């Protein structure tokens, strides 16, 4: 029996210890789980809960250089030896548990795609941390070690017969890593909507891809505090245009909830019910892909708001109406 959605997690993701003063801290996942549990009467027959296997090194190497994978492994081993967290970059922290968390996160993204493609669930939500979209093929940055969405897209192409992928990235930050991976690749359309002039300073609208990838990157920027209605109108048009261009076999979402009003690392004004609408618009655009949508968690730094946003996304994936405010 196919259920509308799968909630995919990996227990090791929760163990990635960045310290409580770090925005991407260990309180994020428990907040999401608590929010989802409160939805269980509605979700019970509509959402599989699945523990994902970790990604293998070969999965990482479809996106990342061997040197990068090794650097992450060595940094985590050193943190484990010292018994404390270490900075891999200025803002990217690892603890002794971070290797297992990172391959758990990439594995959850892959498994969400696997379930959606195999028809066990129509859609999937992978609850991942550390996040992924800033990780480039050769560099960890912006709290990200491995690029979970990119690893899942490449897995789908290598292992599941998928040719064309659409990635919609609504995190308030530009996913520079994802753009880097697919910039010259016409088989993956990367659409990012983000705050202008914000970290990491990439994602200009004139960047539209290179060589065979020309036209399959699109960056849309918004000023601080832009009207929700305007954002949503632009989003709807951009998702439809991207889907018309790539005609995807699979749609992935880099779902950051730092676009919600009040996020300490944000500056946009979206509200949790907007996440329901935005998810439905992605599902509509995925129509030709038999509705194959896998959502992968990125940012979102007010745990309760993050949980509200995830709940709205999962309700949309489960074909339930939006939760009341
Ligand atoms: Zn973000």
- Taking Cα atoms as reference points, which of 243, 246, 250 lies closest to residue 289? 250
CA-based torsion, 127, 203, 19, 267: positive or negative: negative
Give the list of residues 6+ apart from residue 261 with CB closer than 8 angstroms, or none: 268, 269, 270, 271
Pick the catalytic residue: 16, 68, 134, 194? Answer: 134
Distance 89 CA to ligand 1 centre (A): 17
Distance 258 CA to ligand 1 centre (A): 6
Distance 169 CA to ligand 1 centre (A): 10
User: Looking at residue 325, what is its pLDDT?
Assistant: 63
Assessment of whether the complete model's pTM goes beyond 0.95: yes
User: Looking at residue 180, what is its pLDDT?
Assistant: 98
Give the total residue count for the chain: 325
Domain ranges of the chain: 3-317
Distance 45 CA to ligand 1 centre (A): 32
Averaged pLDDT, groups of 10, the chain, 325 residues long: 93 96 96 96 94 98 98 97 94 97 98 94 97 98 98 98 97 98 98 97 97 98 96 98 96 98 97 98 84 95 98 97 86
Distance 276 CA to ligand 1 centre (A): 19
Q: What is the CATH number of domain 3-317?
A: 3.40.800.20
User: Looking at residue 289, what is its pLDDT?
Assistant: 64
User: Looking at residue 229, what is its pLDDT?
Assistant: 97
Distance 103 CA to ligand 1 centre (A): 20
134 is catalytic: yes
User: Looking at residue 288, what is its pLDDT?
Assistant: 67
**Omega within 30 of 0 (cis) for the link into 217:** no
DSSP state string for 28-70? HHHHHHHHHHTTHHHHTTTEEEEEPPPPPHHHHHTTS-HHHHH
């Amino acid at each position: 029996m196919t259920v509308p959605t799968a909630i995919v997690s990996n227990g090791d993701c929760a163990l990635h210890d960045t310290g409580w003063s770090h925005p991407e801290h260990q309180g994020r996942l428990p907040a999401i789980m608590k929010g989802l549990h409160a939805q269980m009467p509605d979700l019970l027959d509509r959402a599989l809960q699945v523990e994902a296997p970790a990604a293998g090194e070969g999965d990482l190497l479809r996106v990342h250089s061997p040197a990068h994978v090794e650097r992450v492994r060595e940094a985590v081993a050193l943190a484990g030896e010292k018994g404390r967290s270490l900075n891999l970059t200025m803002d990217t922290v690892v603890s002794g548990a971070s290797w297992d968390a990172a391959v758990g996160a990439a594995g959850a993204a892959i498994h969400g795609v696997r379930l959606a493609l195999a028809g066990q669930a129509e859609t999937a939500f992978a609850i991942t941390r550390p996040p992924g979209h800033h990780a480039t093929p050769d560099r960890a940055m912006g709290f990200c070690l491995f690029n979970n969405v990119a690893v899942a897209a490449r897995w789908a192409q290598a292992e599941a017969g998928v040719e064309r992928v659409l990635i919609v990235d609504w995190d308030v930050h530009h996913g520079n890593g994802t753009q880097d991976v697919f910039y010259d690749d016409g088989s993956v359309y990367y659409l990012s909507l983000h705050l202008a002039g914000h970290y990491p300073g990439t994602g200009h609208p004139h960047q539209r891809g290179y060589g065979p990838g020309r036209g399959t990157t699109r960056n849309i920027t918004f000023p601080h505090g832009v009207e929700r209605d305007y954002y949503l109108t632009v989003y709807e048009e951009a998702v439809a245009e991207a889907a018309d261009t790539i005609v995807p076999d699979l749609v992935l979402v880099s779902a950051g909830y730092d676009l919600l009003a009040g996020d300490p690392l944000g500056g946009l004004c979206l509200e949790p019910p907007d996440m329901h609408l935005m998810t439905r618009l992605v599902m509509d655009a995925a129509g030709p892909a038999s509705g194959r949508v896998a959502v992968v968690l990125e940012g979102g730094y007010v745990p309760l708001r993050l949980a509200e946003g995830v709940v709205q996304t999962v309700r949309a994936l489960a074909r339930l109406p939006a939760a009341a405010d």
